[in-house]
Amino acid sequence: MSAPVLTITLNPAIDQTVILPQLCAGSVNLAESSQCAAGGKGINVAACLADLGIPVAAGGFLGKRNEDLFRELFNLKGIDDHFVRLDGNTRTNLKLVNRTREETTDINLPGFPVPREAIRRLYDSIGSLAQSGHLVALCGSLPADLDAGVWAQLVAAFKARRCTVLLDTSGEALKRALAMPPHDLPDIIKPNLSELEEWAGTALPNTASLLAVARELCQTGVDLVAVSLGEEGALLVRGDEVLHARLAASRVASTVGAGDAMVAGLLAARRAGLDLAASARRAVAAAVGKLARLGPHLPDAATLAALEQRVQIRALR
C-alpha cells in the first residue's frame, strides 16, 4: 500500500516535559531540565510512523499564534501537513517526570474553541487522502466545545469511504463511537485498562473480566481490540484469537507517548498485512522503544527489530 496513513488530532498540544529528580506535592521542586515538543496523540502517531519509514499525512486543528513547533516537526519528519489553522494558541500540556520513581504526572490544559463549521473545513481538506483501503487514525480528546459524538461521526464518514479506521480516545467520545451500528464502528481500538473500565462501567480486575469485555466489542463488529496494560504489555483480541504480548523496558526516559507509539506499531502492522502475533510484536516493540526517548521519536530500525524479537507472546483462551 503506497498511500499515506492519515492521522487526525482535533485537540493537539505543545508537550512541555519537565525532568525532576523527585516530585513533592505542595513543595518547591527544582527541575533538572525541560523541553517542549509538538504533541497530541495523532501527531505523536504520525511522527512515529514517519520514523518507521511509512508515508503519513496529519490533519486536525492548530492555533495560528504558536504553530512553529508543529511546522518544524512536520518538516523534520516529512509529514504531509493538512491542519486547519484557527485563531488562538494551541494548548500546552505539562509532563512532570519523576526520574527517581520513573513516573510521569500529566497536567493537561483545555484547548482553544473550535467552531462546529471547522469540522467540515477539515473534512474537505483531507477527503482526497481517505479513499478505499486507506488507513485512518482518529486520536485523542476533543476540544471542550465540540459535541462528544464528533469522533463517531468522523468514523462513520471514513467507513463510508471504505477506509480502515483506528480510534484511540476515551470517555464519552469512545462510548458514542462504540454505540454506532456495526458498519459505522471503528475497525481497531486501543484503550488502556482504565479507559476500557470506564466504557464498561465496572472494574476489570483480572484477565477473565478484561477478555470478556474485549470479546464483547469484537462481537459487535470491532475487528481488533488492543488493550495497553503499561508494564504488563498489551492484550490483543481479534475474533477467536487472543494474545498477551509483553516486553520489559530496560530504560525509561519518559512514558509520554508510549501508547501513541503502540498505535503507530498497530497501523504499521495492518499496513504490512501482518498476522496478530507479528502485529503484537511490532506494537509492543514500538511502545518499549519509545520509552527510552523523549519527544515523539522512535529508535532506529535495527533497534526496533531487535526489540520485536524479544517480545514475549502468550496465547490465551
Catalytic residue IDs? 260
Distance in Å from the first CA to the final CA of the chain: 33
Q: Residue 157 contacts by C-beta under 8 Å, 6 or more apart in sequence?
A: 123
Within 10 angstroms of residue 175's Cβ, the number of other Cβ atoms is 16
Distance CA 11, CA 270 (A): 25
Q: How many helices (H) and strands (E) does the chain have?
A: 10, 14
Q: What is the DSSP letter of 109?
A: P
Within 10 angstroms of residue 113's Cβ, the number of other Cβ atoms is 13
Side by side, which strands form the sheet with 234-238?
A: 80-86, 56-63, 5-9, 135-139, 164-168, 188-189, 224-228, 234-238, 241-246, 312-316
